[in-house]
Structure 1
């Protein structure tokens, strides 16, 4: 719950409604990593390394809960 409260305060200073949505999406992805016992830093590093060459029609493969199954 604490991350939600801190996030709520941060959204006030995001600059725009669209920026606040992007921040919320990032918090959600990091929360999904934590839920599945994934190190968010490792996930994000890997995704940023491969996303440029990844086919757009398979972008869901990079979501944390699916990404982890490909790592094992």
Structure 2
């Protein structure tokens, strides 16, 4: 867990926001797209996506 948090911090990402988002999305993400959830590839969800 510490490694995940530190990796997010090294990539200038809020670790809590990143972990909350990937944990919510990981089950629905195909294996070939899991790399998009890594901290250096992750983009925060937009406000429009959160409202949906």
Q: Same fold (TM over 0.5)?
A: yes
Does residue 44 (structure 1) correspond to residue 16 (structure 2)? The answer is no
Shift of 1:57: 1.2
TM-score (norm 2): 0.72
Q: Name whichever structure is richer in helix by fraction.
A: 1
- Structure 1 stretches of 5 or more lacking a match? 1-25
Question: Larger Rg: 1 or 2?
Answer: 1
- Structure 2 stretches of 5 or more lacking a match? 47-52
The 5 A counterparts of 1:6-17 are: none
Does residue 58 (structure 1) correspond to residue 45 (structure 2)? The answer is no
TM-score (norm 1): 0.55
Q: Which has the higher contact order (CA 8 A, sep 6+)?
A: 2
C-alpha RMSD over aligned residues: 1.6
